[in-house]
A = this chain, B = another copy of it.
């Protein structure tokens, strides 16, 4: 752990990077743009994945697995898709190495050149729709509701741990439907799944809305999204759900016969969230002392540290915590008892604070005698000494309280940093301080682009719950039917 820490105020980007390292979440690898997700970071991701996976299955989806490699020609099949995705990709051109003749190591065997280059998937629409083509003949084969957990690669020049890496882990849902309405309902349902997950597990409030035409996914007819606000006032797109219309079905010639035998192209959606959510989770709750985790996703929800001098004290306190362990397990609480003799209590306190463990317990010989225990919560950094009696129930209630407090705190932060604004001059000044800005926009890509050029702010979404409110575009003065949300974004 660094002696002196950079605070959020001093340098937000450095604070974030240091936190990811100090909490043992991830690190840069020697492979440009690729990260190593360390066990503690991966355990959080596993918790996220397990919750999402269950929600996907409860909404009728199954998992499957499609190839890592996409033939280059597939990327050219959907016109909009190729522009958005076919550029910064890892390209496999050869399939064999051989020993260098000078004994210096291995070299690429020039004889082993692929006839058609393979692209490491940046997303899997093309390879999956190429399979669906063979799976779908009639309405009986629909809907297809498939999800894939996978690694994908997009060659990024400037990377940041979790937020933007060349390789990342994600899930991508790919569904096929007989009707337009069913596909739209699917895209909306999955956005709700994401929003529910963000709020109730990540304790991260999100705006639900749709992207403007220029911010849409390459190949989509409509892109729905959830947008969160980070502590530095920047927005983060936390998940997207796309209504793809019949674009991929047409590109890959996927038709089905309806009950009357009439042929039509299939309707599609795709939707995904990634390890980027780890970045969102970190930046929503953490403070200058390190990571703060919502209990619902914390690998360790409660840690107990014994304070002892003699082996006898260690044994007695250990016995008490063993009892507690059993009681907490019965309540489904993830508990760790750390009596590692190589580390002092003070070191452990700092370590678990750093790692965002929601509740820390400590007990010394006098506490034991008095039937007392010290209980500290990570989110508020408050502690008190309480009776050992009823501890499991107290802990359970406290975990619930921490979970809801974190959500409330994040909601309050977002409210305090959401502004209604009508003057573009004021906007240009205010946007520098960060936050969500609700403003009128004339609906044209030209104005959107102008604002982006002049302020670096983008339209994060057109929120679903924005009341209709006729007004004038803050830039052009042209009529607008409702406000949209501007922010600078990750």
A interface residues (Cβ-Cβ under 8 A, vs B): 27, 29-31, 34-39, 42-43, 46, 62-73, 75-76, 82, 86-99, 104-106, 108, 117-120, 127, 130-131, 134, 140, 146, 150-151, 153, 155, 167, 169, 342
Contact A67 B97 (CB under 8 A): no
In the complex, chain B residues whose CB is within 8 Å of the CB of A37 = 64-65
A37 to B65, CA, bound (A): 5
Chain B residues whose C-beta falls within 8 Å of the C-beta of A127 in the assembled complex: 29, 31
Cα separation A30 to B130 with both chains bound (whole Å): 8
A86 touches B106 (CB 8 A): yes
Contact flag A65-B90 (CB < 8 Å), given A29-B127, A36-B131, A75-B106: no
Residues of B within 8 A of A155 (CB): 95-96
Contact B89 A91 (CB under 8 A): no
Beta-carbon contact of B64 and A39 below 8 Å: yes
Q: Which of B43, B67, B99, B131 has a CB less than 8 Å from the CB of A62?
A: B43
Point out the residues of chain B lying under 8 angstroms from A130, CB to CB.
29-30
Given A37-B65, A63-B43, A71-B30, check contact A98 B87 (CB 8 Å): yes
Whether the Cβ atoms of A106 and B76 lie closer than 8 Å is: yes
Question: Which of B36, B86, B134 is close to A97, meaning CB atoms less than 8 Å apart?
Answer: B86
- Given A82-B105, A87-B96, A95-B155, list of 7 further CB < 8 A pairs? A31-B69, A31-B118, A31-B127, A34-B68, A68-B120, A86-B97, A91-B96
- The interface residues of chain B lying within 8 Å CB-to-CB of A67 are 29, 31, 34-36, 167
From B46, B71, B90, B99, give the contact of A92 (CB < 8 A).
B90
Contact in complex: A91, B90 (CB < 8 Å): no
Q: Pick the 10 closest A-B CB pairs, nearest first.
A: A76-B105, A34-B67, A39-B62, A37-B65, A91-B94, A95-B155, A93-B93, A31-B67, A90-B92, A86-B106
In-complex Cβ contact of A91 among B46, B66, B92, B134 (8 A): B92
Sample of 7 A–B contacts (CB below 8 Å)? A29-B67, A34-B68, A86-B97, A86-B106, A89-B97, A92-B92, A92-B120
**Least CB separation from A115: chain B residue:** B32
> In the bound complex, what is the Cα–Cα distance between A105 and B118 (angstroms)?
14
Which residues of chain B come closer than 8 Å to A27, judged between CB atoms?
A: 131, 134
A96–B88 touching, CB < 8 Å: yes
Q: Which residues of B contact A146 (CB under 8 A)?
A: 39
Q: Given A30-B130, A127-B31, A36–B66 Cβ distance below 8 Å? A: yes
The answer to whether B68 and A167 touch across the interface, beta carbons within 8 angstroms, is: yes
Given contact pairs A89-B96, A96-B87, A29 touches B66 in the complex (Cβ within 8 A): yes
Q: Closest residue of chain B to A85, judged by CB?
A: B97
Q: Which of B69, B104, B106, B140 contacts A90 (CB 8 A)?
A: B69
Measured in the bound complex, the distance between the Cα atoms of B283 and A417 in whole Å is 61
Determine the residue in chain B with the shortest Cβ distance to A38.
B64
Known contacts: A31-B70, A31-B71, A67-B167. The answer to whether A95 contacts B105 by CB under 8 A is: no
Max chain B CB contacts within 10 Å: which of A68, A70, A167, A342? A68
Please judge, given known A-B contacts A66-B29, A91-B94, whether A108 and B118 are in contact too, CB under 8 Å.
no
Given that A87-B97, A88-B95, A92-B120 are contacting pairs, would A68 and B153 also be in contact in the complex, using a CB cutoff of 8 Å? yes
Instruction: Give the chain B neighbours of A29 by CB distance below 8 A.
Output: 66-67, 127, 130-131
Does the CB pair A42–B68 fall under 8 Å? no
Contact at A63–B46, with CB atoms within 8 Å? yes
Residues of the B chain whose Cβ atoms lie less than 8 Å from the Cβ of A91: 92-97, 108
**Which single residue of chain B is at the shortest CB-CB distance from A165?**
B67
Q: Evaluate whether A342 and B31 lie within 8 angstroms (CB atoms) in the complex, with A39-B63, A42-B62, A119-B97 already known.
A: no
CA distance A38 to B128 in the complex (A): 11
Cα distance A146–B37 when bound, in Å?
11
Pair A118/B90 contact, Cβ less than 8 Å: yes
Assess the A72–B106 pair: CB atoms within 8 A.
yes
Q: How far is the CA of A98 from the CA of B88 in the complex (A)?
A: 9
Chain B residue at smallest Cβ distance from A77? B105
Give the distance in Å from the alpha carbon of A117 to the alpha carbon of B107 in the complex. 9
